[in-house]
Amino acid sequence: MKHIPWDILLALFAGLALGLAYSWVISPLRVTNADPTALRADFKEDFRSAIAAAYAATGDLPRAQVRLALLKDPDPMDALNAQSQRMRADSDSFQEADEVAALAVALENGSGDIPTAIIATEVVQQVEDFFTETVLPPPPDVPLVLTETPQTIETQPDVIAATARATQTPVPTLGAPFTLTGQDNVCDTNLPDGLLQVIVLNSNRRQIGGAKIIITWEGGEEQFFTGLKPELGNGYADYMMTPNVTYTIQLASGSDIAAGLTTPTCQAQSGETFFGGIKLTFQQP
C-alpha cells in the first residue's frame, strides 16, 4: 500500500499560497498606459464627459473626435446621446449632460465653432504681445524725440477689427431654433387619456435626444426631456395632460410656441366619449 506524499503536497500548497500572496498583496500587477477601450463602463462615461467638457471650453471638434476614437465605440454619437439620457434620468449635473448632448449634435452636424470667450482672450493676448514687442523704451543715452504720429497709433485699426470679429463668433449650441411642423389630435383607445407626445427632429429628420421641453399652464411650469424612452425613439418625449387645463409648449433651446393645447374629446366606435391626446413635431429648418 502506497503512502500519500504529504510532505510534497504541503510544499505545493505552501508555494501556491506564497505565490498568490506575492502577486495579490506584496507586488500586485499595476496596469499603466492601458487603452481606453479596456476601461470599465462607468469610467468610459467619465472619459466621454471629460471630452465633452474640453470641447465646450475650446470648440475643437477634430480633437474631440480623435479622443472619442480611443474608446472604439461602434457609434460615438449614439453612445453620447445614450449617456446624456442616463445622466438626466439619474439626476446628474444637467450642465454636464448638456455638454455631452452638445458634443453629439456637433458630431452629427460636423460643426466646430470656437466659443467667443476663447477667441476674445486670444485676441487680447495677441494685442498685448504686439504692444510688448513694438513699444520699446528708449536707451538711457538717447534723448526722447516726439513725433507727430506715434507708431502705436497705426496698429489701432487692426486691433479694433480683430475684437469686432471675435464678438461675432457664435457659441456652440444644439443648433438652429426649431419650428413646429406638426400638431395633431390623437384619438386612440390604446393610449392613456390626455397623453401629450412630442418628437424633436434635426434638419435631416433624425431624432434628437436630450432636448429640454418646457410646458406651462396657468400657475404652473414643468420641464421634461426627449430620449428617456429610447424604445419609442431617441427624440420622443411625453407628458400626461390634465383635462380642462390649457397648456403651452416650447423647446428650451428656442422654437415656435404651441399654445392653447387642451385634451381633445374623442368618440369610440361604441359611441362612448373619452379624452384623446396631442402629438407635436418640432424640426430644425
Asked if 280 and 260 count as a contact pair (C-beta separation under 8 A), the reply is no
Rounded mean pLDDT, 20-24:
82
Rounded mean pLDDT, 244-248:
95
Q: Is 50 exceeded by the pLDDT of residue 218?
A: yes
Selected residue with higher pLDDT from 225 and 175: 225
Rounded mean pLDDT, 187-191:
88
CATH of domain 179-283: 2.60.40.1120
In the chain, where are the structural domains located? 36-109, 116-167, 179-283
**CB within 8 Å of 277: residues ≥ 6 apart:** 185, 186, 188, 191, 192, 193, 194, 195, 196, 197, 241, 263, 264
pLDDT band at 153 (very low <50, low <70, confident <90, very high): very low
Selected residue with higher pLDDT from 53 and 37: 53
Whether this model's pTM surpasses 0.85: no
3-state per-residue secondary structure call for the chain: CCCCCHHHHHHHHHHHHHHHHHHHHHCCCCCCCCCHHHCCHHHHHHHHHHHHHHHHHHCCHHHHHHHHHCCCCCCHHHHHHHHHHHHHHCCCCHHHHHHHHHHHHHHHHCCCCCCHHHHHHHHHHHHHHHHHHHCCCCCCCCCCCCCCCCHHHHHHHHHHHHHHHHHCCCCCCCCCCEEEEEEEEECCCCCCCCEEEEEEECCCCCECCCCEEEEEECCEEEEEECCCCHHHCCCEEEEECCCCCCEEEEECCCECCEEEECCCEEECCCCCEEECEEEEEEECC
The reported pLDDT for the residue numbered 114 is 37
The rounded distance, in Å, linking the Cα atoms of 100 and 80 is 6
Rounded mean pLDDT, 41-55:
88
Q: Per residue in 93-130, pLDDT tens?
A: 677 888 888 888 888 887 544 343 333 344 445 444 54
Mean pLDDT, the chain, rounded, equals 77
Q: Kindly list the distances between the CA atom of residue 251 and the CA atoms of 45, 240, 246, in Å, as whole numbers in the listed order.
A: 27, 17, 17
pLDDT band at 182 (very low <50, low <70, confident <90, very high): very high
The rounded distance, in Å, linking the Cα atoms of 80 and 93 is 15
Name which of 76-90, 168-182, 199-213, 264-278 the model is least confident about: 168-182
The reported pLDDT for the residue numbered 118 is 39
The reported pLDDT for the residue numbered 131 is 42
The reported pLDDT for the residue numbered 34 is 67
Selected residue with higher pLDDT from 24 and 60: 60
Q: Is 70 exceeded by the pLDDT of residue 172?
A: no
